[in-house]
Structure 1
């Protein structure tokens, strides 16, 4: 027989009286924090395998050069505008050490050991690598993890293992729910506000599965569904992003239904595309819409009983005041973001506060694929020793070989592969800050960079590199059966002409 839920005698705060406490969120908080720890773990493990090649001392965009430029441009305010621990030290060992420390702290959160201080450390570490990563960071899931991770610090219990703790803070819970609302509703509004005709006529997914950065094998299958199925997919997307978010504020049964719809959308996306940990993190955030009664079947009876026995009464008075102050500040920032979605005018004092706090990434704007890409250009880098015979560089993850199947990569994010997708859409190599340094490092044969992709020659770097631009399209099922190919491609032209180290001169700064 299961033990009853404890109902400690207490005087409810005004906020609790307003919002009610008929639902318990002990299991919700425990599961949310453990899964967030796993996402941090995946993020730091993924970044740790790439960070020196991307921004190390001999990487594509050395962080030392970035910090020097920031210091020169911002002066004494540089550390406020670019808050990163790399100001203390920017060696390769320090970069790797930040990622290792992130893995260790994430493990503590997963194991429910010193959760609150571990979450504080994780947020500081990820904010540090967020700025150090320059063009290779700053994806929407990076800022979503920072925003979620900051709120999680205040949602986590303040205690040592085995000690009694206060019940989860409802004010922080509602800040997390507001984040879910902004994430989902903002994404839906961005699609409509862009004026993209493919979203308005419900045909967007006839392009999406073929043109997304890193598709999966299921994406190839979904691409060949009939138009009516694609229109149903887009219709469901709008329901999940424009209607379901309002159910967050509805009574419990409707709220649970809204959570199910939004999570289902994220499951479909993660099965058909590789968006790092974005979809997993979105699902974890949606768990804040569930209560203990909805989650209890996921927990063994002994664990439920232990967690419920640990929680007694409200958090300490001082911590409640901190939560209320946080709620007030972040509620204002949330409302400013929602006001922008509505095109409303923001008073100057609010804009000043927002600008002052912006470097901390506390409240952000979201909206993936507001404009749908309808073609898939791909940059193919080729190396040669004689200027006549050329061999392709084989990226590990992005489309290249026509016979190589798309794969499931997430939650790992190969950040160079992703940036190659963006660069191809931009069309000109001078529109990226990193293409020149990448080519220079490849011609130099720098191991930290060549490990980010497959070098074409086993005997050393080539003398020349050139870039060619192709349009990639999926094969039809008939072509796939006949040729074994997943892709066809058509040469669009030259991305950049053959270059050598002599022509490029000294390494880009």
Structure 2
């Protein structure tokens, strides 16, 4: 059996504020730390908003221990970050809790039990390492899937109130990693790996951040932004090079909301300017992360502005909120104190603990895994994969199995047309009733709704099916099979099941081209969408690719 049939294709600053200086040990044997030393050519005076001290790096005194000491002016940043991360975790677990059994439960679209069985047959004892998950221990029942989701909600609330932070963060990471592998294609998204790596690094943030840990957060944000820009250019998509991407994006994105309709009506000049701003914010702005503080402020402001614009026009679950939260590490406490109410600051406790040897060793180990793995994966996707030695790629893939070290490429190509599938059933072959989805475009008179930070995985995945790629057709065929069987957990994912008393004898899938109506068309018809029949969409028999 071909290994690629079972593997997922994963799409995958430094500064130290102090009133004196920071130094890196010149004779350090760790290559990564030498790289960090080169990345941080300035040191900052906390009383002077990051003005550089012009002193050659080779004149710095060897004080490696400072690399792991808590950063004094990011205690409030860390406190706020952990609370906001708890909210993102809460949204992610709550979103999965209402759909996980329909997706991968016992009667779901892709039952987890079958997935683990195939993994065991193919990988043998390595399966548990290749797909690390608590479900190897608890079993794959609907109860187990639901319980893990609900536990995630509980621990998110505990973290929100600041209780047992390190233990809670460890449990949240392990629970979400389990759901990430359990969800298979339905959880194989970049925001899932972004949350996993953020949550993993947050484990070491309890007690205060240090230079190396803050670098890892900055490196994560840099990868998310810069790699997305690079892949837009190397994809060869003419919509990016021709500055026409936003002419199509608002109406062809997976789940637009009403803001997208209004944005789609903007003049072409503004849309072209938006593409330029997007490329600027992804290709140039990320480098400011590694510059002195005022440049970091600019990077944070630009990135946050872009995320707010995306939120105003797109339903991208929690990824934009998580990106904004990561920007907190580009700020520092004095700035936050000017923003937060004094009453809140008085209630905030920010104890700082001296880093122990174990914590220090784990942070160093994390950096030696995350940075190389992400660089290897980035390089392998830029050049021909065959030119990267297999042993190096295996290292990167192994690290990524634990949700860290991934690459990111948000919308490297842009679809220019939107094709929607309409699924209908019938008992007599004459009268057909439609299965309505909760969130994806359907009824042209229904305004696209805002559902942030929820991600309806089924509605999102349907967007890929018209491409008829084998991996997409496999799960879609299984979905159609479950409708034939009348699976209650699967039909619960839909807005309306027209056959509540039992499944229909016949099912058909039709394809329609959707486009946003113009202002004039909407004024005349009241419709948000114009739909045009394209023909019968062939149902692919359920199979394992």
Cα offset for 1:99? 0.3
Name the structure 2 match of 1:147. 197
d(CA) in 1 for partners of 2:471 and 2:181?
22
2:161 paired residue among 107, 111, 114: 111
Extract unaligned runs of 5+ from structure 1. Answer: 1-6, 158-166
- 1:44-123 matches, within 5 Å, as 44-88=93-137, 89-123=139-173
Name the structure 2 match of 1:36. 85
* Residue 229 (1) aligns with residue 270 (2): yes
1:336 paired residue among 369, 376, 379: 376
d(CA) in 2 for partners of 1:23 and 1:275?
35
Cα offset for 1:298? 3.6
Contact 1:429 1:435 in 2 (8 A): no
Secondary structure of the residue aligned to 1:379 is: strand
d(CA) in 2 for partners of 1:10 and 1:251?
14
1:132 paired residue among 171, 176, 182: 182
1:204 paired residue among 239, 245, 249: 245
* Residue 267 (1) aligns with residue 308 (2): yes
- 1:298-317 matches, within 5 Å, as 298-305=339-346, 307=348, 310-311=351-352, 314-317=354-357
Extract unaligned runs of 5+ from structure 2. Answer: 1-17, 25-62
d(CA) in 1 for partners of 2:465 and 2:263?
26
Contact 1:423 1:429 in 2 (8 A): no
d(CA) in 2 for partners of 1:251 and 1:19?
20
Contact 1:382 1:465 in 2 (8 A): yes
What are the Cα deviations for residues 84-129 of structure 1, in whole angstroms up to 9, with x where unaligned? Answer: 1111211110110000110011111111111111110111111111
Name the structure 1 match of 2:528. 486
Contact 1:429 1:495 in 2 (8 A): no
What are the Cα deviations for residues 12-68 of structure 1, in whole angstroms up to 9, with x where unaligned? Answer: 983575799886110111111111111110011010000111111011111111111
Secondary structure of the residue aligned to 1:467 is: strand
**Cα–Cα, structure 1 residues 108 and 12, in superposed 2: closer, same or farther, change >3 Å?**
farther
* Residue 183 (1) aligns with residue 255 (2): no
* Residue 284 (1) aligns with residue 334 (2): no
**Could you state the TM-score of these two structures normalised by the residue count of structure 2?**
0.83
**Cα–Cα, structure 1 residues 360 and 18, in superposed 2: closer, same or farther, change >3 Å?**
closer
**Cα–Cα, structure 1 residues 338 and 251, in superposed 2: closer, same or farther, change >3 Å?**
farther
Deviates more, 1:70-79 or 1:23-32: 23-32
Name the structure 2 match of 1:434. 475
d(CA) in 1 for partners of 2:396 and 2:424?
46
d(CA) in 2 for partners of 1:349 and 1:303?
51
**Cα–Cα, structure 1 residues 242 and 364, in superposed 2: closer, same or farther, change >3 Å?**
same
- 1:444-463 matches, within 5 Å, as 444-453=485-494, 454-463=496-505
**Could you state the TM-score of these two structures normalised by the residue count of structure 1?**
0.89
Cα offset for 1:336? 3.2
Secondary structure of the residue aligned to 1:122 is: helix
1:370 paired residue among 385, 393, 412: 412
Give the aligned CA root-mean-square deviation in angstroms. Answer: 2.8
Secondary structure of the residue aligned to 1:185 is: helix
* Residue 383 (1) aligns with residue 425 (2): yes
Contact 2:513 2:533 in 1 (8 A): yes
Cα offset for 1:443? 2.3
What are the Cα deviations for residues 323-381 of structure 1, in whole angstroms up to 9, with x where unaligned? Answer: 23333443333443554576597566644432332311210010111010000011110
**Cα–Cα, structure 1 residues 396 and 342, in superposed 2: closer, same or farther, change >3 Å?**
closer
d(CA) in 2 for partners of 1:19 and 1:68?
44
Name the structure 2 match of 1:161. none
